[in-house]
Amino acid sequence: MAEQTFRLPDLGEGLTEAQLVTWRVEEGGQVEVNEPLCDVETAKAVVVIPSPWAGTIQKLHARPGESVAVGSALVTIAAQGAPAPVEPLPAESVEATPSTLVGYGPGAGPPAGIRRRARVAPSTPQMGSDVRAAPFVRQLAKERGVDLAALTGSGPGGRITRADVEGAASPVAATSAAAAASTTDGERRISVVGIRKAIARQMVRSVTTIPQFTEFAVFDATKLLAARERQKQSGRSMTPLPYFILALVKAVRAFPLMNSSWDEAHDEIVVKQPINVGIAVNTSQGLLVPVLRGAERLDLMAIADQAARLIEGARAGTLKPVEMSGGTITITNVGASGPVETGTPIISPTECCVGAFGAIKPRPMVIDGKVVARSGAWISISVDHRIVDGALATEFLTALVGELETSRA
């Protein structure tokens, strides 16, 4: 045996660090090739890191909750044989077929005769096979004193999510956790790592590097709601979001400059061909933006299906990093969680435009010279002024309102 130190790899998204969520192994224990070592939370998702070697765990170099830089020592193993090429796995699927771990090159999976098996460390609660929850959710349940077997999961396929655990946490556990995080003078400090740190950096980058302005409009949602009702009567119920996305895509087709980015290195505008719509989702981890790729090729039903899958995956913490990158324009429904009229959304860096939709509700409108109550909502767009001037933004917003007001099932 030879001691080998495994270092945190670049997980494929150019990330510089990740937060260690939980260990799946313990010092002195045995590990097999491709067996899960730990869960880490990146700026994009929770990822399972598998072992490149079989052997004995000599030393764990980080504690759960700590931030680990890419290239830093993660674990030392008294290893048998050479490294096996494997890849980081999404937290919900530790039995997927391995291919490549960044830094080890392409390969064909584990050597013959070695069978992968999911092994849970003693620190992770043992649950029945009928309980579906990612490892970091199980760890959270243990810390909060929540019995996962007693919960009904709200995630895809009945998967138990972080939000489910936090909602079921006992007042005693919550109080104890809050007290532990409080200082003697009454302050409470929260470690900013992983997704929250990435959000902070992106927002600072946006407002300090992109000269952006916002325009507002109100649209009549009468036909949109009528189309929703027809879909409901035909057996398909959906939120307004798919209609928003479809209208956005149609407006972008008419004004492709809205689907572009500013290349700072070359002072060029890069107009993107695919329309990859980022969908801002409020989760227990913070604001996540899964990306609906190739939206220009999808009809309303396909948009609804894919958007629902992405939103559920974001809230369950089961999306892969690649599913939350590559957006070309973003949409956020600020009225989905309450009676919010509108807002001034912040552009995601590398994009030109973000649209925000407020709550649809009855409001006074002038129709044929008469004031009547019609269902409507505010919509706002923030745009990169380096790429788009006010006149073009107004034309785009007008086209977007027109698409929304002529929505059909």
Residue whose entry in the numeric block shows the structure tokens 């309450």: 338
Please give the structure tokens belonging to residue 26. 């313990």
d(CA 329, CA 355): 8
Chain centroid, CA 340 distance in Å: 23
Report CA Rg, the chain: 24
For 58, counting Cβ atoms within 10 Å of its Cβ (0-12 exposed, 13-18 middle, 19+ buried), the class is middle
Residue 55, SS3 per DSSP? strand
Q: How far is CA 124 from CA 62, 127, 137, 177, 382, in A?
A: 17, 9, 10, 19, 45
Cβ atoms within 10 Å of 263's Cβ, excluding its own: 11
Place of tokens 């189309």: 227
The secondary structure element, H or E, covering residue 76 is strand 73-80
CA distance 254 to 368: 29
Q: What is the largest CA-CA distance in the chain?
A: 86
* CA-CA-CA-CA dihedral for 84, 87, 90, 96, to nearest 10: -60
Closest listed residue to residue 396, CA positions, set 277, 245, 259: 259
239 DSSP assignment? -
For residues 328 and 322, the answer to whether their CB atoms sit within 8 Å is: no
Q: Which two tokens stand for residue 33?
A: 């090739």
The number of helices, as runs of H, and strands, as runs of E, in the chain is 8, 20
Find out whether 377 and 221 touch, Cβ atoms under 8 Å.
Answer: yes
Cβ neighbours of residue 316 closer than 8 Å, sequence gap 6 or more: 92, 134, 155, 156, 159, 161, 162
State the catalytic residues. Answer: 385
34 within 8 A of 86, measured Cβ to Cβ = yes
Q: Which residues is 238 bridged to in the sheet?
A: none
